[in-house]
Amino acid sequence: MKRLGFMIVILSLICLLAAPLFAADVIKFGAAISLTGKLAKEGNLVKMGYEIWKETVNKKGGIKIGNKYYKVDIKYYDDESDPNRAAKLVEKLITEDGIKLILGPYGSESVFSTSAIAEKYGALMVQGGAGADKLYTRGFKNLFGVYTVATEYMDDTLKMLQNKTPKPNTVAIVYSNDIFSTQVAQGAKASAQKYGYKIVYYKDYPKGTQDLSTVIVEIKAKNPDILIGCGHFQDTVVIVKQSKDYKLNPKAIAFSVGPTLPDFVTALKGDAEYVFGAAQWTPVLKYKDPVFGSNANFVKAFKSKFRVEPNYHAAGGTTAAIIFQRAIEKAGTFTDINKIRQALLSFNEETLFGNIKFDATGKVVGKGMPVIQILKGAQRTVYPDNVAETRPVYPKPAWR
């Protein structure tokens, strides 16, 4: 019995000593993300993007540093679509869970709050879920984002429409008064002026509102050729429904967020037809990728796992994770934050989002925005011309 007891003690000591070695075989990432609340649709799509990356990398052996492979693990917390809660949870990830490699949340307000926490504690964040310009004007060193910034969101859409027949001349812009949507609207206004449109309506509305009838009536009185909506998924559904109710019939309706989500058509059915959406990414792009091999392979793997086609929220999450992975591999470490940061600053590689480079603020540079249109109940890439699946339908038929 004494010998058995002695052996148990020895084995326990061996396990305790070996535990750090086993732990070192895993690289832990952390994410506070909207799994419930008003941004749950988008947040869960970003999480799905993280998960397909994790699964694919681990099937290939893991992240390679030197001659050794490390498995990937991601610890999630639900921020409930609350930026303040998101910040507290990222602080918990860093200070209690000991994780300094942070995958970003969804939404500019949550990225704004959480990136400040990452900066405070010397953690590193790569995010594929927010595009507000304001994220990159604070002098931070530890935030990198893969989205085209908000002020450039609607530029390609307005550029695409400028020479259509009959020529559109007037634009109405309506936007939610959150950080991201406000900056999208500011950029849309600047782009409209650049392309020679006359802006006949420019107004915000309270974040999260469920009734925009007053706004729709005001816009109808201006009779714009193009209606631009800058908000989130729930906002776009309200705008479309109430535009139909009040017979607001512009030649084109376009949104910064909404049409790219699978639930847009589910929620609106036939009323979603002909609506344009700005997209960070679409499934038909022909980019290569260091993890999946190609954009087409990513789409296939995602559909196989989740039984739905990915949209740009999911692809953004995957791309952010891939960039994080490649920077760690290039740096040759997953613990030296400074070396990983330097690898990100010098990043220049083709990914699902195209060739990605960052400026000194961590903002992606040189990346455009494809435009999709809902046609026969499906998203179709209609711009730019060299990747378009079909020609855009313009002008939009009146509501039935």
Rounded CA separation 322/313 (Å): 14
Residues 131, 38 share a domain:
yes
Residue 72 is part of which domain span?
A: 8-148+284-356
Residues 224 and 123 in one domain: no
Query: Which has the minimum average pLDDT: 14-23, 113-122, 123-132, 255-264?
Result: 14-23
Q: What is the pLDDT of residue 5?
A: 52
Instruction: Give me the number of domains the chain comprises.
Output: 2
Residues 246 and 374 in one domain: yes
Residue 298 belongs to a domain: yes
Asked if residue 181 and residue 293 are part of one domain, the reply reads no
In 3-state terms, what secondary structure has residue 24? coil
Q: How confident is the model at residue 13 (pLDDT cuts 50, 70, 90)?
A: very low
Q: Which helix (H) or strand (E) holds 290?
A: none
In SS3 terms, 250-287 reads as: CCEEEECCCCCCHHHHHHHHHHHCCCEEECCCCCCCCC
Q: Residue 232 domain-assigned?
A: yes
On average, the pLDDT of the chain sits at 93
Question: In terms of domains, do 196 and 275 share one?
Answer: yes
Q: What is the pLDDT of residue 387?
A: 82
pLDDT tens digits for range 336-353:
999 999 999 999 999 999
pLDDT category of residue 9 using cuts at 50, 70 and 90: very low
Same domain, yes or no, for 257 and 239? yes
For the chain, list the strands marked E by DSSP: 26-33, 63-65, 68-78, 101-103, 124-127, 143-145, 170-176, 198-205, 226-230, 252-255, 276-278, 288-289, 293-294, 349-351, 354-356, 371-375, 378-383
> Is 189 among the domain residues?
yes
**Within-domain flag for 365:** no
In a domain, 18, yes or no: yes
pTM over 0.75: yes
Distance between CA atoms of residues 242 and 212, nearest Å:
7
Q: Do 244 and 126 fall within a single domain? A: no
Amino acid 333: pLDDT? 97
pLDDT of amino acid 394: 98
Residue 108 placed within a domain:
yes
335 shares its domain with 250: no
Q: Do 141 and 18 share a structural domain?
A: yes
Structure tokens at 152: 């450039």
- Res 3: pLDDT: 55
**362 within some domain:** no
pLDDT digits (tens, 9 = 90+) for 210-223: 999 999 999 999 99
Q: 144 and 158 in one domain? A: no
- Identify the CATH number of the domain in which residue 110 sits: 3.40.50.2300
Does residue 140 sit in the same domain as residue 88?
yes
Nearest to 318 by CA among 153, 126, 62: 126
The answer to whether residues 131 and 171 belong to one domain is no
Residue 389 within a domain:
no
Residue-wise pLDDT for 258-310, tens only, equals 998 889 999 999 999 999 999 999 998 889 999 999 999 999 999 999 999 89
Q: How confident is the model at residue 191 (pLDDT cuts 50, 70, 90)?
A: very high
Give the model's pLDDT for residue 220: 98
